Amino acid sequence: MTTPTPTSLGFRMPAEWARHRGTWLSWPHRESSWPGKFEPVPGVFVEIVRQLAAHEEVHINVTGPEMAMEVQARLANAGIAAVDLSRAGEPASRRAVYLHRNPTNDAWCRDHGPIFVQRETASGRREQAIVDWGYNAWGGKYPPFDADDVIPSRIGAKFGLRVFHPGIIMEGGSIDVNGRGTLLTTESCLLNPNRNPSHSREKIEQALKDNLGVSHVLWLGDGIEGDDTDGHVDDLTRFVGESTVVTAVEDDPRDSNYAPLRENLDRLRRMTDQNGRPLQVIPLPMPPAMHHDGQRLPASYANFYIANGVVLLPGYHPKTDEAARAILQRCFPDRLVTVIDSRDLVWGLGSFHCVTQQWPGL
């Protein structure tokens, strides 16, 4: 008997700008992810929580009681109260911060966290489920990753949600959806043999259609230099509307990112949404090249996060920060686009979208 897929049951992944119940984070603790520069990183997470908690719930995975106490103390110093759910009941309000005793290996919740899908029931009620893709730390680059791999199922069990297991490796940062049937991804990541070596492009595309409620998959090419994920789309191109995308563009022909980003721009200008409408493509500047200890960092303004009432934009350089902010503010007139310094966070090779995972509202 064929196992029903989320799509066959009417589930789909909402767009990131759809109303949230909250945001999931995994508190940073793996110092090797920010070698020699870990100390400021928890403070960046405090600022992320502060910005989000004014608009929606924030749910944070912590490894145990000691980390829970540390996180509560850090947040309290910033005037933020956090509830440790191992010592309290279910959330009582819809705008608070909650800690969950879910051990993790690392902080990149976009990639190991739950992908929520929704459907309308016959009675008109919305129902949620979780898609728990396999996770192998970007092709086995950073073991161990066993604790991260089970985070979606742990969250599903905690909240009584149905969990689907597609049986293939996939990270949240490798995909972006418009909530109406179209998905963006990259060949350099999803077709990399370090993820699903026995799967063809067609089989991977079918898995996306079967599990996320999409019918139209758009493939970009290569990612940016310094991105150890093999080219996640959330450093390149993002939906900001049902048929509108912003895409990172490098203006300096001498920069290593110039050619791949131009190729992606050319592809996007030939692409359509699920209804055959051409995409509206808005160029987004790149910040000046950033290096640390001789390594090029994947600094990109495309790694913003869309929440209720606010868009968190990574900041790298005042002039280009403001240019990127102004572009996104026009895309999201009903939200405040807020720049947060990400120069320390990006040494871990990711930024705000990489550490967040949206929980859609019902």
Please report, for the domain that includes residue 314, its CATH number: 3.75.10.10
Residue 10 falls within a domain, yes or no? no
Cα separation values, 245 from 17, 134, 150, 264, 279, Å: 13, 28, 32, 12, 7
Query: 299-326, pLDDT tens digit by residue?
Result: 999 999 999 999 999 999 999 999 999 9
Residue 14 falls within a domain, yes or no? no
Cα separation values, 238 from 37, 154, 175, 325, Å: 29, 29, 9, 15
Percent of the chain with pLDDT over 70: 97
| Least trusted range by pLDDT, from 88-92, 142-146, 270-274 | 88-92
For residue 90, pLDDT beyond 60:
no
Residue 129 falls within a domain, yes or no? yes
For residue 93, pLDDT beyond 80:
no
For residue 249, pLDDT beyond 90:
yes
- The whole-model pTM stands at 0.96
Domain hosting residue 291, numbered range: 20-360
Cα distance between the two ends of the chain = 31
Q: How many Cβ atoms are within 10 Å of 155's Cβ, its own excluded?
A: 23
Q: How many Cβ atoms are within 10 Å of 289's Cβ, its own excluded?
A: 17
Residue 142 falls within a domain, yes or no? yes
Q: What pLDDT score was predicted for residue 347?
A: 97
Query: 139-169, pLDDT tens digit by residue?
Result: 999 999 999 999 999 999 999 999 999 999 9
Q: How many Cβ atoms are within 10 Å of 178's Cβ, its own excluded?
A: 26
Residue 4 falls within a domain, yes or no? no
Residue 84 falls within a domain, yes or no? yes
Residue 6 falls within a domain, yes or no? no
Strands 310-315 and 115-120 come out as: unpaired
Strands 310-315 and 216-220 come out as: unpaired
Is the sign of the CA dihedral 160, 164, 168, 169 positive or negative?
A: negative
Structure tokens given for 224 = 């940016």
Question: Average pLDDT in the 42-53 region?
Answer: 98
Split into its structural domains, the chain has a count of 1
Residue 248 burial (CB < 10 Å; 0-12/13-18/19+)?
A: buried
Q: How many Cβ atoms are within 10 Å of 54's Cβ, its own excluded?
A: 15
Residues labelled catalytic: 354
For residue 275, pLDDT beyond 70:
yes
Question: Average pLDDT in the 69-92 region?
Answer: 83
Q: How many Cβ atoms are within 10 Å of 244's Cβ, its own excluded?
A: 15
Confidence band for 12, pLDDT divided at 50, 70 and 90: very high
The DSSP letter of residue 287 is: P
Residue 347 falls within a domain, yes or no? yes
For residue 9, pLDDT beyond 60:
yes
Residues 6+ apart with CB under 8 A from 357: 23, 24, 25, 109, 110, 113, 114, 115, 172
